[in-house]
Amino acid sequence: MSYLEAAERIAREAGIMIKSKLGTDFVTEEKSSAFDVVTEIDRASEQLIRERLAEVFPDHAFLGEEESFANEELLENRLERAKSEPFIWIVDPIDGTSNYVQGIPGFTVSIALACNGEIMVGVIYDPSRDDMYSAEKGKGATLNGKPIRVSQVETLGQSVVATGFPSKKKTRDAVMTSLQEIGPQCRTIRALGSAAQHLAFVASGKLAAFWEYGLNAWDIAAGVLIIEEAGGTVTDTLGNPYSLTVKHIVGTNGHIHDAMMQTLKPLGI
Ligand code: IPD
Ligand code: CA
Ligand code: CA
Ligand code: CA
Protein backbone atom coordinates (compact mmCIF):
# COMPACT_ATOMS: atom_id res chain seq x y z
CA MET A 1 0.00 0.00 0.00
CA SER A 2 1.35 3.45 -0.88
CA TYR A 3 1.75 6.16 1.77
CA LEU A 4 -1.09 8.13 0.17
CA GLU A 5 -3.43 5.14 0.05
CA ALA A 6 -2.73 4.38 3.70
CA ALA A 7 -3.29 8.01 4.73
CA GLU A 8 -6.59 8.21 2.84
CA ARG A 9 -7.85 4.89 4.15
CA ILE A 10 -7.00 5.71 7.75
CA ALA A 11 -8.34 9.29 7.58
CA ARG A 12 -11.61 7.94 6.23
CA GLU A 13 -11.86 5.28 8.93
CA ALA A 14 -11.22 7.88 11.66
CA GLY A 15 -13.65 10.33 10.07
CA ILE A 16 -16.44 7.75 9.91
CA MET A 17 -15.85 6.87 13.57
CA ILE A 18 -15.95 10.57 14.56
CA LYS A 19 -19.14 11.17 12.59
CA SER A 20 -20.81 8.12 14.16
CA LYS A 21 -20.25 9.64 17.64
CA LEU A 22 -21.61 13.09 16.70
CA GLY A 23 -24.37 14.16 19.05
CA THR A 24 -23.70 11.36 21.55
CA ASP A 25 -22.91 12.00 25.17
CA PHE A 26 -19.11 12.10 24.87
CA VAL A 27 -16.86 13.58 27.55
CA THR A 28 -15.63 17.13 26.81
CA GLU A 29 -12.88 18.80 28.86
CA GLU A 30 -11.17 22.16 28.91
CA LYS A 31 -7.47 21.80 28.04
CA SER A 32 -5.38 24.95 28.54
CA SER A 33 -8.39 27.28 29.05
CA ALA A 34 -12.13 27.58 28.47
CA PHE A 35 -11.23 28.55 24.87
CA ASP A 36 -9.50 25.19 24.25
CA VAL A 37 -11.58 22.02 24.50
CA VAL A 38 -10.89 18.36 23.83
CA THR A 39 -13.27 15.42 23.75
CA GLU A 40 -12.77 11.72 24.31
CA ILE A 41 -13.46 11.35 20.56
CA ASP A 42 -10.37 13.48 19.71
CA ARG A 43 -8.31 11.06 21.79
CA ALA A 44 -10.00 7.96 20.36
CA SER A 45 -9.44 9.23 16.81
CA GLU A 46 -5.76 9.89 17.49
CA GLN A 47 -5.32 6.44 19.00
CA LEU A 48 -7.05 4.79 16.04
CA ILE A 49 -4.85 6.67 13.54
CA ARG A 50 -1.69 5.95 15.52
CA GLU A 51 -2.48 2.22 15.75
CA ARG A 52 -3.41 1.86 12.09
CA LEU A 53 -0.26 3.67 10.93
CA ALA A 54 1.91 1.54 13.24
CA GLU A 55 0.39 -1.62 11.75
CA VAL A 56 1.38 -0.58 8.22
CA PHE A 57 4.57 1.42 8.93
CA PRO A 58 6.00 0.16 12.23
CA ASP A 59 9.28 2.08 11.80
CA HIS A 60 7.71 5.49 11.20
CA ALA A 61 7.50 8.18 13.88
CA PHE A 62 4.21 9.77 14.94
CA LEU A 63 3.22 13.22 16.21
CA GLY A 64 -0.37 13.93 17.19
CA GLU A 65 -2.05 16.96 18.77
CA GLU A 66 -3.43 15.00 21.69
CA GLU A 67 0.01 13.97 22.92
CA SER A 68 -0.48 17.37 24.57
CA PHE A 69 2.99 18.77 25.18
CA ALA A 70 3.50 20.15 28.69
CA ASN A 71 4.79 23.48 27.38
CA GLU A 72 5.61 25.39 24.21
CA GLU A 73 9.33 24.71 24.50
CA LEU A 74 8.87 20.93 24.53
CA LEU A 75 6.62 21.17 21.48
CA GLU A 76 9.11 23.44 19.71
CA ASN A 77 11.91 20.92 20.39
CA ARG A 78 9.79 18.03 19.16
CA LEU A 79 8.94 19.85 15.93
CA GLU A 80 12.57 20.83 15.45
CA ARG A 81 13.59 17.16 15.79
CA ALA A 82 10.77 16.17 13.42
CA LYS A 83 12.63 18.05 10.69
CA SER A 84 15.29 15.35 10.60
CA GLU A 85 13.06 12.27 11.02
CA PRO A 86 13.12 10.15 7.84
CA PHE A 87 9.40 9.40 8.23
CA ILE A 88 7.04 11.15 10.62
CA TRP A 89 3.25 11.19 10.45
CA ILE A 90 1.78 14.46 11.72
CA VAL A 91 -1.85 14.13 12.72
CA ASP A 92 -4.75 16.30 13.83
CA PRO A 93 -7.35 13.70 14.86
CA ILE A 94 -10.20 16.26 14.80
CA ASP A 95 -9.47 19.71 13.43
CA GLY A 96 -12.38 21.89 14.45
CA THR A 97 -13.22 20.36 17.81
CA SER A 98 -15.39 23.39 18.65
CA ASN A 99 -17.49 22.69 15.55
CA TYR A 100 -17.70 19.04 16.55
CA VAL A 101 -18.81 19.80 20.11
CA GLN A 102 -21.50 22.21 18.86
CA GLY A 103 -22.66 19.83 16.11
CA ILE A 104 -21.59 22.24 13.37
CA PRO A 105 -20.44 20.48 10.18
CA GLY A 106 -16.90 21.23 8.98
CA PHE A 107 -14.59 19.32 11.32
CA THR A 108 -11.85 17.38 9.58
CA VAL A 109 -9.12 14.76 10.01
CA SER A 110 -5.68 15.93 8.86
CA ILE A 111 -2.79 13.54 8.20
CA ALA A 112 0.61 14.46 6.74
CA LEU A 113 3.78 12.48 6.16
CA ALA A 114 7.03 14.46 6.45
CA CYS A 115 10.38 13.07 5.36
CA ASN A 116 13.37 15.02 6.69
CA GLY A 117 11.14 18.05 7.15
CA GLU A 118 9.60 17.92 3.70
CA ILE A 119 5.90 17.12 3.45
CA MET A 120 5.49 14.24 1.01
CA VAL A 121 1.83 13.30 1.52
CA GLY A 122 -1.15 15.25 2.87
CA VAL A 123 -4.79 14.27 3.28
CA ILE A 124 -7.70 16.18 4.80
CA TYR A 125 -10.95 14.30 5.21
CA ASP A 126 -14.28 16.02 5.90
CA PRO A 127 -16.66 13.31 7.11
CA SER A 128 -19.73 15.60 7.06
CA ARG A 129 -19.43 15.94 3.27
CA ASP A 130 -17.46 12.73 2.64
CA ASP A 131 -14.80 14.87 0.94
CA MET A 132 -11.22 13.63 0.70
CA TYR A 133 -8.60 16.23 -0.24
CA SER A 134 -5.22 14.66 -1.04
CA ALA A 135 -1.79 15.46 -2.39
CA GLU A 136 1.50 13.76 -2.99
CA LYS A 137 4.65 15.83 -3.53
CA GLY A 138 5.09 16.54 -7.24
CA LYS A 139 1.92 14.70 -8.25
CA GLY A 140 -0.80 17.35 -7.91
CA ALA A 141 -3.77 17.64 -5.59
CA THR A 142 -7.18 16.01 -5.77
CA LEU A 143 -10.64 16.16 -4.22
CA ASN A 144 -12.30 12.74 -4.22
CA GLY A 145 -9.81 11.62 -6.86
CA LYS A 146 -10.37 14.55 -9.25
CA PRO A 147 -7.61 17.16 -9.81
CA ILE A 148 -8.13 20.52 -8.09
CA ARG A 149 -6.64 23.96 -8.71
CA VAL A 150 -6.56 27.19 -6.75
CA SER A 151 -8.82 30.08 -7.85
CA GLN A 152 -7.84 32.56 -10.56
CA VAL A 153 -8.95 35.63 -8.57
CA GLU A 154 -6.38 38.41 -8.91
CA THR A 155 -7.41 41.14 -6.49
CA LEU A 156 -8.20 41.23 -2.78
CA GLY A 157 -11.39 43.10 -3.64
CA GLN A 158 -12.70 40.04 -5.49
CA SER A 159 -11.46 37.62 -2.83
CA VAL A 160 -13.35 35.58 -0.25
CA VAL A 161 -10.78 34.86 2.45
CA ALA A 162 -10.83 33.05 5.80
CA THR A 163 -9.19 33.10 9.18
CA GLY A 164 -9.63 31.43 12.56
CA PHE A 165 -9.63 32.32 16.22
CA PRO A 166 -6.85 30.63 18.19
CA SER A 167 -7.33 29.82 21.86
CA LYS A 168 -4.32 31.75 23.22
CA LYS A 169 -4.70 35.48 23.96
CA LYS A 170 -1.57 36.66 22.15
CA THR A 171 -2.36 34.94 18.86
CA ARG A 172 -6.09 35.75 19.04
CA ASP A 173 -5.16 39.41 19.49
CA ALA A 174 -2.94 39.10 16.41
CA VAL A 175 -5.89 37.75 14.41
CA MET A 176 -8.09 40.62 15.62
CA THR A 177 -5.45 43.19 14.63
CA SER A 178 -4.99 41.62 11.20
CA LEU A 179 -8.76 41.44 10.65
CA GLN A 180 -8.94 45.21 11.04
CA GLU A 181 -6.48 45.51 8.15
CA ILE A 182 -7.67 42.73 5.82
CA GLY A 183 -11.39 43.24 6.53
CA PRO A 184 -11.87 46.51 4.64
CA GLN A 185 -9.99 45.22 1.58
CA CYS A 186 -11.60 41.90 0.67
CA ARG A 187 -15.02 40.88 -0.62
CA THR A 188 -15.84 39.03 2.58
CA ILE A 189 -14.34 36.87 5.34
CA ARG A 190 -15.22 33.44 6.70
CA ALA A 191 -14.17 31.65 9.88
CA LEU A 192 -15.50 28.14 9.34
CA GLY A 193 -13.79 26.50 12.32
CA SER A 194 -11.17 24.16 10.87
CA ALA A 195 -7.79 25.45 9.71
CA ALA A 196 -7.27 22.27 7.67
CA GLN A 197 -10.60 22.78 5.93
CA HIS A 198 -9.74 26.41 5.17
CA LEU A 199 -6.50 25.28 3.53
CA ALA A 200 -8.37 22.58 1.55
CA PHE A 201 -10.83 25.28 0.42
CA VAL A 202 -7.96 27.48 -0.80
CA ALA A 203 -6.51 24.50 -2.70
CA SER A 204 -9.85 23.79 -4.38
CA GLY A 205 -10.56 27.41 -5.31
CA LYS A 206 -13.45 28.00 -2.90
CA LEU A 207 -11.41 30.56 -0.93
CA ALA A 208 -8.69 32.83 -2.33
CA ALA A 209 -6.70 32.92 0.92
CA PHE A 210 -6.48 31.79 4.52
CA TRP A 211 -4.32 33.25 7.27
CA GLU A 212 -4.09 32.58 10.99
CA TYR A 213 -1.66 32.99 13.88
CA GLY A 214 -0.67 30.35 16.42
CA LEU A 215 -1.34 27.14 14.53
CA ASN A 216 0.75 23.98 14.76
CA ALA A 217 2.14 21.47 12.26
CA TRP A 218 -0.80 19.09 12.83
CA ASP A 219 -3.28 21.83 11.78
CA ILE A 220 -1.49 22.81 8.59
CA ALA A 221 1.15 20.36 7.28
CA ALA A 222 -1.29 18.40 5.09
CA GLY A 223 -3.02 21.57 3.86
CA VAL A 224 0.26 23.27 2.96
CA LEU A 225 1.16 20.45 0.53
CA ILE A 226 -2.37 20.29 -0.89
CA ILE A 227 -2.31 24.05 -1.64
CA GLU A 228 1.17 23.93 -3.18
CA GLU A 229 0.24 20.95 -5.33
CA ALA A 230 -2.92 22.78 -6.44
CA GLY A 231 -0.79 25.70 -7.68
CA GLY A 232 -1.04 28.01 -4.66
CA THR A 233 1.51 29.66 -2.38
CA VAL A 234 2.15 29.22 1.35
CA THR A 235 4.49 31.25 3.57
CA ASP A 236 4.56 32.40 7.15
CA THR A 237 3.00 35.79 7.89
CA LEU A 238 6.36 37.52 7.38
CA GLY A 239 6.86 35.89 3.97
CA ASN A 240 9.33 33.15 4.96
CA PRO A 241 9.02 29.63 3.50
CA TYR A 242 6.91 27.06 5.34
CA SER A 243 8.62 24.66 7.73
CA LEU A 244 7.26 22.33 10.41
CA THR A 245 7.88 24.95 13.12
CA VAL A 246 5.87 27.70 11.38
CA LYS A 247 2.84 28.84 13.42
CA HIS A 248 1.65 31.98 11.67
CA ILE A 249 0.52 31.03 8.20
CA VAL A 250 -0.76 32.52 4.94
CA GLY A 251 -1.97 30.23 2.16
CA THR A 252 -3.28 31.77 -1.04
CA ASN A 253 -4.04 31.11 -4.69
CA GLY A 254 -0.67 32.74 -5.44
CA HIS A 255 -2.16 35.70 -7.34
CA ILE A 256 -3.13 37.59 -4.17
CA HIS A 257 -0.19 36.46 -2.03
CA ASP A 258 1.70 39.73 -2.42
CA ALA A 259 -1.41 41.76 -1.61
CA MET A 260 -1.96 39.71 1.56
CA MET A 261 1.69 40.08 2.53
CA GLN A 262 1.65 43.84 1.96
CA THR A 263 -1.00 44.00 4.67
CA LEU A 264 0.21 41.30 7.07
CA LYS A 265 3.98 41.75 6.95
CA PRO A 266 4.01 45.31 8.35
CA LEU A 267 2.17 44.01 11.44
CA GLY A 268 5.46 42.25 12.24
CA ILE A 269 3.86 39.14 13.75
C1 IPD B 1 -8.34 24.64 15.84
C2 IPD B 1 -9.03 24.87 14.53
C3 IPD B 1 -9.52 26.29 14.43
C4 IPD B 1 -8.39 27.27 14.63
C5 IPD B 1 -7.69 27.02 15.93
C6 IPD B 1 -7.19 25.57 15.99
P7 IPD B 1 -8.53 22.16 16.91
O8 IPD B 1 -7.86 23.31 15.94
O9 IPD B 1 -8.18 24.60 13.44
O10 IPD B 1 -10.07 26.54 13.17
O11 IPD B 1 -8.89 28.57 14.59
O12 IPD B 1 -6.62 27.91 16.02
O13 IPD B 1 -6.55 25.34 17.21
O14 IPD B 1 -8.12 22.49 18.30
O15 IPD B 1 -9.99 22.21 16.69
O16 IPD B 1 -7.86 20.94 16.40
CA1 CA C 1 -7.42 21.18 19.92
CA1 CA D 1 -6.32 21.70 14.90
CA1 CA E 1 -7.51 18.86 16.93
Q: Which residues, including other chains, have CB under 8 Å from residue 117's CB and lie 6 or more apart?
A: 82, 83, 84, 243, 244
Q: Whose CA is nearest to atom 15 of ligand 1?
A: 96
Cβ neighbours for 125, distance < 8 A, ≥ 6 positions apart: 8, 11, 12, 14, 15, 108, 109, 131, 132, 133
| pTM of structure | 0.98
pLDDT confidence bin for 88, thresholds 50/70/90: very high
- Distance from the CA of 195 to the center of ligand 4, in angstroms? 10
- Candidates 194, 219, 247; CA nearest to 92 is 219
Residue 35 CB less than 6 A away from ligand 1: no
Q: What is the pLDDT of residues 8-44, one digit of tens each?
A: 999 999 999 999 999 999 999 999 899 999 999 999 9
How many angstroms is it from 17 CA to the middle of ligand 3? 18
| pLDDT higher than threshold 90 for residue 232 | yes
pLDDT in tens, 106-149: 999 999 999 999 999 999 999 999 999 999 999 999 999 999 99
Grade residue 68 by pLDDT with cuts at 50, 70 and 90. Answer: confident
Ligand 1 atom nearest residue 165's Cα: 11
Domains of the chain, first to last: 3-147 (3.30.540.10), 156-267 (3.40.190.80)
Confidence of residue 105 (pLDDT cuts 50, 70, 90): very high
| ipTM (interface predicted TM) | 0.98
